[in-house]
């Protein structure tokens, strides 16, 4: 009996020593990777670059100026169904884990082992850490740093704040950053107007927008969208009846044309752009999210444009059609040289001398 007790005591000692060594190794590893981590507290001061929008006197949009096309949307303005689409696609346990999802890691390992396909296990918090504070380098060191920063972010910020950062920062393709800009420019809608299939398609885009391009890879886009719709049903964000209806729909992506007033008012909008840049600087113009109300009246602008066009036509017709000035034979010659040799013919009243100087 004494020998048995000694044996178990020996095993316990070995186990305790192993545990202490493992704990020490983890402590050293944590110290090594955490000593030069980026300061996650800077996320509290995050001000994303938001596009400036110029409106006419009647409120219609004249122009947009941005380096990253983005409209910032507070988390309180995001409908539960839209949140559910992104949580289902990216991190269904977001509101349960502390920055790292052990269940997701195990699930990804099993999928990778069974199918040979690479499936990520990064949580939304880890993606925030990567997008804001790290880079896209695919190394073990970066993944460790990402996980440590995610834990710190979770200890500092609320879940809703983390999700707000994520939904406003992600790139969703076609030049759009964040869900508000994507909803507007993909569908001509605000976020709260999105239906199930539209929300699911946008949720398919964060990891690889080009893989699910709405026009070049339509079949893949619809397949991924439908997978997310099924996940939304499983997670309680929509009903099976709504899901079946949504899966039968096309993508319906229709990139937005800013405004018919844009073409008619291009020179005016350019003068407004220069005025803003002179007053507030280029950074404020392209990143400050300014909302500018200009004096231009689109109806009067259209009338003036029409009057000018018709006046020029009447002016030309009053002098008769003068036919082609000349036929230029290039025959290997440069266009500019050949054009310069064509004699200038001016009919009607000769222009003033100052115009020819």
182 conformational bin, left if phi > 0, alpha if psi -120 to 50, beta if neither: alpha
Q: Indicate the number of domains in the chain.
A: 2
User: Does residue 54 contact residue 64 with C-beta atoms inside 8 Å?
Assistant: yes
Phi and psi torsions of 335, nearest 5° = -60, -45
In a domain, 194, yes or no: yes
Same domain, 100 and 125: yes
| Residue 42 DSSP one-character state | G
**Helix (DSSP H) and strand (DSSP E) numbers for the chain:** 16, 5
Per-block average pLDDT, block size 10, for the chain (357 residues)? 60 62 55 63 83 90 87 95 97 92 70 56 90 77 84 93 95 93 94 97 95 95 97 97 97 80 73 93 92 90 87 77 66 70 62 51
Residue 263 shares a structural domain with residue 300: yes
Beta bridge partners of 65: 52
User: DSSP readout, 240-269?
Assistant: HHHHHHHHTS-----PPP--HHHHHTHHHH
pLDDT computed for residue 94 by the predictor = 95
CA 296 to chain CA mean position, Å:
31
Rounded CA-CA distance 61/263 in Å is: 11
* Nearest Cα to Cα of residue 237 among 80, 77, 79, 78: 80
Answer yes or no: do 51 and 189 share one domain.
no
Domain that holds residue 66: 46-75+259-318
* 93/227 same-domain check: yes
Same domain, 241 and 266: no
Same domain, yes or no: 211 and 282: no
Quote the pLDDT of residue 47: 83
Last residue of a domain, one of 247, 273, 302: 247
**CATH number for the domain harbouring residue 101:** 1.10.3810.10
Q: Is residue 17 part of a domain?
A: no
Nearest CA among 166, 190, 189, 186 for reference residue 178: 166
Residues 147, 165 share a domain:
yes
């Amino acid at each position: 009996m004494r020998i048995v007790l000694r044996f178990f005591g020996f095993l316990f000692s070995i186990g305790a020593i192993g545990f202490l060594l493992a704990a020490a190794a983890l402590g050293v590893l944590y110290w090594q990777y955490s000593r030069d981590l980026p300061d996650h507290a800077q996320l509290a001061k995050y001000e994303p670059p938001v596009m400036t929008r110029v409106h006419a006197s009647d409120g219609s949009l004249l122009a947009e100026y941005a380096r990253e096309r983005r409209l910032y949307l507070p988390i309180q303005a995001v409908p539960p169904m839209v949140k559910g689409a992104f949580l289902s696609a990216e991190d269904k346990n977001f509101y349960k884990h502390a920055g790292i999802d052990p269940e997701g890691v195990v699930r990804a390992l099993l999928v990778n082992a069974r199918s040979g396909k690479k499936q990520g296990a990064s949580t939304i918090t880890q993606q925030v850490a990567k997008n804001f504070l790290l880079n896209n380098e695919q190394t073990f060191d970066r993944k460790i740093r990402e996980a440590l920063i995610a834990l710190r972010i979770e200890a500092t910020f609320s879940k809703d704040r983390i999700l707000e950062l994520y939904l406003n920062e992600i790139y969703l393709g076609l030049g759009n950053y964040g869900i508000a800009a994507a909803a507007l420019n993909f569908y001509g809608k605000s976020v709260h107007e999105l239906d199930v299939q539209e929300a699911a398609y946008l949720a398919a885009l964060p990891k690889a927008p080009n893989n699910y391009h709405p026009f070049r890879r339509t079949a893949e886009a619809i397949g991924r969208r439908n997978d997310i719709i099924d996940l939304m049903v499983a997670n309680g964000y929509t009903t099976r009846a709504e899901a079946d209806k949504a899966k039968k729909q096309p993508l319906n992506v229709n990139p937005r044309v800013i405004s018919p007033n844009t073409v008619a008012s291009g020179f005016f909008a350019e003068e407004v752009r220069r005025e803003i840049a002179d007053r507030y600087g280029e950074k404020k113009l392209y990143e400050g999210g300014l909302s500018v109300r200009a004096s231009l009246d689109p109806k009067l602008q259209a009338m003036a444009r029409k009057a000018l066009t018709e006046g020029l036509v009447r002016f030309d017709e009053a002098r008769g059609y003068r036919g082609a000035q000349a036929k230029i034979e290039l025959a290997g010659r440069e266009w500019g040289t050949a054009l310069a040799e064509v004699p200038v013919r001016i009919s009607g009243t000769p222009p003033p001398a100052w115009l020819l100087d």
